[in-house]
Structure 1
Amino acid sequence: MGSHRRPKPPSRARIATLGMAAGAVSLLPTQSQAAPKPTIDEVRKEVERLYEEAEAPTEEYNAIREKQKKLQREADSAQDRLARKQQEINELRDAIGPLAAAQYRSGGVDPSVQLFLSGDPDDYLDQAEMLDRTSSRQAEALRAMQAKQRELTQERRAAQKRLQVLEETRTKAAQTKNEVQDKLAKARKLLNSLTAAQRARMEAAQEREDTAAGVSDSPATYNGPASGRAKAALDFAYAQLGKPYEWGATGPNSYDCSGLTGASWRAAGVSLPRTVKQQYDAGRKVAKSDLQPGDIIYWYNDNQHNGMYVGNGKAIHAPRTGKNIEIVPLDSMPFFAASRP
């Protein structure tokens, strides 16, 4: 602060140097943007990663949808119960109406005056007895109506709670759906950034890898040793070979992984729950060394991906978006567990 001299205007040379430096700085992002485009192999690996990441929320979405269906059924039956109870109350109210009218007509006059006015004491006593019966019937009907009214109020509260939980579940399902679709959109965008020739090269490389690994999605018929229900399940699964994977799908034109295992065993008359986790929890666990064709295989962990053992160290599964139902070596992914429906 000691000097009050105005700073010297920058010299032309200095301006030129600053300009070059500014130019260099402004070039930096451009240079990084112009970094070599990812190789076809890098794109493929990133697409694989995004598809794999979409699998866990897909299963979560399936579980939420199952819960949503159950809540919807409960809400519907609660509405039916409410309607029935309201009808019962209306009927009771209608029944009380004539009783109340009778009591009003007979009970509006003091009994001693009524006796005095009555030309026939016996007639009065008959009337009094009838009135007494009417009053007790009416009291009973009123009590019944009040009890029904209380039940109706409780039912209404319970129905409101169910609808609230159902709405929360719907919101959660929508969020999870968006999460999956976001990952799939990113994968599609990456794939769309490739030229047709690059994509063809990528698919050819994938096919070579699949062939080398013994992967096949060509239509085939199961002709292994399985019998009974396991054979029926495998016959169905084999008939789906070559159909596309689609998240959240349970057939008949596309499947996700647990959608395929569930549909295959359903064709054999066995009802499995919807998600990988639920199928894992419901099944009787078998050791890898005791595998039989038809057993359900879980890869990675207990809730991410499953398929069915077909024998000879191979399994059939709905792999991921962009691929078709295929037969793969059992150890093409990290084996986690197996269960027998």
Structure 2
Amino acid sequence: MNRRRCATAAITLVCALTVLASPGQAFAAPEPPPPSGTAAGAPKKSLEQVRLEIEALYRKAASATDAYNLAEEQTDKQSAEIVRLAQEIVKGQARINDLKNRAGAAAREQYRGGGLPPEAQLVLTDDPQLFLDGAGRIQQGQKATRDLLGELSRTQADLAAYTKDASTQWQKLEANRLRQAKAKKEITAQLDAAKKIEDQLEKEELARLLQLEQQAQYKAQSAWLSSGALAEVNGKASEQGKKALAYATAQIGKPYEWGAEGPGSYDCSGLTSQAWAAAGRPIPRTSQEQWRLLPRIAIKDMRPGDLIIYHSDASHVGMYIGDGAIVHAPRPGRNVTMTGAGSMEILGVVRPDK
């Protein structure tokens, strides 16, 4: 417990020093070109307003990234299912052809017998033993014919079902491709808007913007710690959790890239899903699906390796590493890093290996 308190204090101290080292002066963002119909003398936004605006754009991009990643995951699954169904259709058609050939062979055999059905040929025999033998063969033949026709009917029904399923999967595939394209367009629009704002800032203003971002995170983290949220948190990582943590922390310093799952770059859920995959426990690809599908636990019960889901739309995720901190991929323009677990709005906690 003393080690945990020391580490928590160390994280808090580092955040505080970062804030204290920030220049005290405030900057105003350069005024962007006014939209058509807007008065040229509109007041400039404060740098804090600019920070909040950029943060909102990146949040929207993160939500769209989740939609893109989910559509991509579903597209991959549907593509694989279509391939499987196509293989089943090929096998089913081959089976139908074989059954038809067998039925044709039986018809040809009857033709060679003078065109008379076996029952008629049996009536014409005078030999009692032949009659008895023939009766048995007729019964067997009738059963074989029924079985043949039954199997042909079932195979044709299966083939029709496979064809219908393939058509349904194809429609879903196309719908997901459209969702991917729409999400990609949304991501690009939000990131371009954020970049346009950042490009209007001077070097000193960009530095101050980062400091404001750190101050906001430190303030949120301090409030979270002061609330006593960590008072009962003392769980130890599971063996799989340790492996996931080792993977995630080894990625520190690598850049954020939307839709990326490594090894050179990651988005937030790309990092957590790959970390748990490396631990031998595959989990959903997106933060929203991780929140929806993985077992939820109380904050007081969380342990290293658990995933903390952020914001009301579950658009961000980080991995708890203990001592009130997480490792996560923050946003475009930032690298995989450690930060306070309470530095963002916590939605809840999920445990992949529960």
Q: TM-score band, normalised by the shorter chain?
A: 0.7 to 0.9
With over 3 angstroms needed to count, the CA separation of the structure-2 counterparts of 1:199 and 1:236, relative to structure 1, is farther
Map of 1:328 onto structure 2: 339
Distance 2:239 2:279 in 1: 8
Match of 1:97 among 97, 104, 116: 104
Which residue is 1:218 aligned to? none
Q: For 1:255, which of 263, 266, 273 is the aligned residue?
A: 266
CA distance in 1 between partners of 2:286 and 2:37 (Å)? 47
Q: What is the aligned partner in structure 1 of residue 21 from structure 2? A: none
Aligned to 2:174: 167
Root-mean-square deviation (CA, aligned residues, Å) is 3.6
Say whether residues 1:208 and 2:202 are aligned partners: no
Please tell me whether the aligned partners of residues 256 and 332 of structure 2 are also in contact (alpha carbons under 8 angstroms): yes
Aligned with residue 84 of structure 2, among 77, 80, 83: 77
Separation (CA, whole Å) in 1 of partners of 2:277 and 2:258 = 19
1:130-279 aligned within 5 A: 132=138, 136=142, 137-138=144-145, 140-192=147-199, 194=200, 198-209=201-212, 228-279=239-290
What residue identity is the alignment partner of 1:52? R
2: CA distance, partners of 1:328 / 1:146: 63
For residues 237 and 325 of structure 1, what CA distance do their matches in structure 2 show?
A: 9
Q: Percent identity?
A: 35
Higher RCO by CA contacts (8 Å cutoff, separation 6 or greater): 2
Give how far 1:319 is off.
Answer: 0.9
In structure 2, stretches of 5+ residues that fail to align are 1-34, 220-235
Shift of 1:39: 6.3
Classify the secondary structure of the residue corresponding to 1:32: coil
The aligned residue for residue 288 of structure 1 is: 299
Hey, what's the Cα distance between the residues in 1 that align with 2:323 and 2:293? Answer: 25
Structure 1 counterpart SS, 2:342: helix
Separation (CA, whole Å) in 2 of partners of 1:132 and 1:35: 98
Q: Deviations over 1:279-329 (max 9, x none)?
A: 224444343344433221122236221102223322221111221112222
1:31/1:170 CA distance change after superposition, 3 Å: closer
CA deviation profile, 1:186-242 (whole Å, cap 9, x unmatched)? 2233334x2xxx442233224434666669xxxxxxxxx857333322222221112
Match in the other structure for 1:61: 68
CA deviations over 1:109-156 (Å, ceiling 9, x no partner): 699x999xx9x977xx79x94995796345543443233223322322
TM-score (norm 1): 0.72
Q: Which runs of 4+ in 1 moved over 6 A?
A: 28-31
**Equivalent residue letter for 1:158:** D
Change (3 A) 1:199 1:105: farther
Cα distance in 1 between the residues matched to 2:278 and 2:161: 42
Deviations 1:251-299 (A, max 9, x none): 1111111111122222222222222133224444343344433221122
The offset of 1:87, in angstroms, is 1.0
Query: Partners of 2:184 and 2:255 in 1: how far apart?
Result: 19
For normalisation by structure 2, the TM-score amounts to 0.70
Checking the alignment, whether the CA contact within 8 Å between 1:302 and 1:337 is kept in structure 2 is: no
Is the 1:315–1:330 Cα contact (8 Å) retained in structure 2? yes
Equivalent position SS for 1:208:
helix
The answer to whether the 8 A contact 2:308-2:348 is kept is: yes
SS in 2 for 1:332: coil
How far, CA to CA, are the matches of 1:271 and 1:321 in structure 2?
25
Map Cα deviations across residues 31-75 of structure 1 (whole Å, 9 max, x no partner). 824757766665444322211111122212222222223322322
In structure 2, relative to structure 1, the CA distance for the partners of 1:31 and 1:258 (3 Å cut) is: closer
The aligned length equals: 294
Q: Check conservation: 2:110, 2:117, Cα contact below 8 A.
A: no
Contact 1:307-1:316 within 8 A present in 2 as well? yes
Match of 1:316, SS state, is strand
Partner residue of 2:223?
A: none
Distance 1:62 1:50 in 2: 18
